[in-house]
Structure formats: structure tokens, C-alpha cells
Chains A and B, each alone.
Chain A
Amino acid sequence: MISLSYFLVFAAALFCIGLYGVLARKNAIAILMGIELMLNGVVINLIAFWRFRSPEMITGQAFGVIVFAVAAAEVAVGLALFIAIFRRRNTIAADEIDLLKW
């Protein structure tokens, strides 16, 4: 039987891989991809909990929908930002965008 643990571990793994991608990758868009992975892990967590713990309440799914919407919005804005940055600085490697350094 599939227990909740399966999904939770899966979601955790997805989240951590996404975290690695955020922290380690140079390219900004790669970082964004990492963020997407993390968000997906979160939603899976949410839905898993909904399904296993309180399926009669639809709150879990509603929450998931909102997270989706936010993720989409964020990707849009983020990419717009990256494009603007690229136009200015001609690079989107995260460690080259360090104007606020010492």
C-alpha cells in the first residue's frame, strides 16, 4: 500500500534537488528552474496531505491552486527581469551580477 511517507519523501527529495539547483547554478534561468522544482515539491506535499489526511476538505487543493498561480506570476516577472538585466549587463550569470558588493 502507498502510504503518505512515499509522497512526502518524494516531495522532500524534489525540494532538496531544487534547492541545490538554486544555490549552485550560475545561470539565472537555471536558478529559476530550480525554484520551479521546489515549488512543485511543495504542491505535491500539499496535495498528498490533502489526499491522505483530509480528503473531505477541499482546502488542500485550493491552496495548491493558489500556489500554482503565484508560481506562474513569479516566473513571468522573473524572466522579464532577467531579460532586462541581460540587455543591460549582457550576462545573466548570477555571480557576475554583483553590483551591490562591497
Chain B
Amino acid sequence: MTVMQVIFLVTAVVSLGGAVMVVTVRNLIHASLWLILTLFGVAVMYGLLSATFFTVIQVVIYIGAIAILMIFAIMLTRRVKQEPGSSVNNNWWLAGLMALVLFTALVWMLSTWPGFQTTLPELPQDFDSIKVLGTALVSPEGYVIPFEIASFLLLAALIGAVAVAWERKS
């Protein structure tokens, strides 16, 4: 058991446990908090994968913006009376079954793949992933077009969200 493995296991347990709580708890604020925990765990995973940029981005964007936004939305869409009944709909068992089947299928399929047990390769020396990523994202031989389109998308989403949620003065 190497150090990496231990860290991995702990992180995995925390993340998955948090994820399960997200989809299980009744109170939505609690769920969102559990979501934040899970996202933290995923950020650590990114770190284990030497994708340091993603770690930071995960924390900043996902937790700092998206999760907070969700909390805002939860607040705004609260009903005065807390809704009774279960937190899941009628077909929850079918959903669970589907998830289980999918997981099993995926894992089984992956296990038949020879590359399943690939070991961690060595990164090249002086591999500054952020710099490389930055260069790739803006260079024309790289991924500038997806980058620009993604920015368009964000602009559209921004405008769209404002438009959809605009309260009409009646």
C-alpha cells in the first residue's frame, strides 16, 4: 500500500460517500453542502492526477460559483410549507437498478479492455501543465476555436439566464 493508494482510497470514500448523501438527503441545503464536500474530494483527485489547474478550477468554479448558485436557487425556490412526502419519486428503485446495471456493465467492459491496468507513466521534466494548457487553448494550431466557442456559449448562457429569469413587471 503506497501513500498514493491510501490517499486515493480515503479521497474516494469521502467523495463517493458525499455523493450518496447528495442523492439521498431530504433537505436540499444539506444536499448542497454534501455536494460541496464531494466536489472537494474530486478536486483532490485532480491533484492526484497532476492536473493542478483543474484542482484550482474545481474549487473556484464549481464550489465557489456553481454550488453557491445552487444554494441561492434553493433559497429562492423554497415553499413556505415544507413539501411532505419522500424525496424520491415513484420509480426510484428502477433508477437504482439502472445505475447499478450501468455501473456493472461499465466496469465489466472496462475490465476486458487490456489498457485497464495501465500504470502511471512518468511526466516529462519541466512539464508545466498550466503553461502548456494555456498555450494550447489560445494557439491557432491548438484549441482556440473550441475556446472561443465556449466563450460564446457562456455569453449566450449568461444572456439566456437573465432573460429567462427576468421578472416581468406586470
Contacts and interface: CB of A to CB of B under 8 A. Distances in A.
Main secondary structure of the interface of B (DSSP, over half): helix
Interface string A62-75: 10111011111111
A24 B65 contact: no
Contacts of A76: 69, 157-158, 161
Contact of A73 (B39, B54, B153): B153
Contacts of A18: 19, 23
B7 to A, nearest CB: 9
Given A64-B51, A74-B157, A83 B165 contact: yes
A53 B115 contact: yes
Nearest to B4: A2
A8 B167 contact: no
A10 B16 contact: yes
B16 A17 contact: yes
B89 A33 contact: no
Interface in A48-83: 48, 50-53, 55-56, 58-59, 61-62, 64-66, 68-77, 79-83
Contacts, number: 256
Given A70-B153, A79-B161, A61 B133 contact: yes
Main secondary structure of the interface of A (DSSP, over half): helix
A51 B48 CA distance: 10
B116 A75 contact: no
A91 B133 CA distance: 43
Contact of B98 (A23, A55, A79, A82): A23
A71 B62 CA distance: 9
Interface of B: 2, 4-5, 8, 12, 15-16, 19-20, 22-23, 28, 31-32, 35, 38-39, 42, 45-46, 48-51, 53-54, 57, 61-62, 65-66, 69-70, 72-74, 76-77, 79, 83, 85-92, 94-96, 98-100, 102-103, 106-107, 110-111, 115-121, 123-124, 127, 129, 132-133, 136-137, 142-143, 146-147, 150-151, 153-154, 156-158, 160-162, 164-165, 167
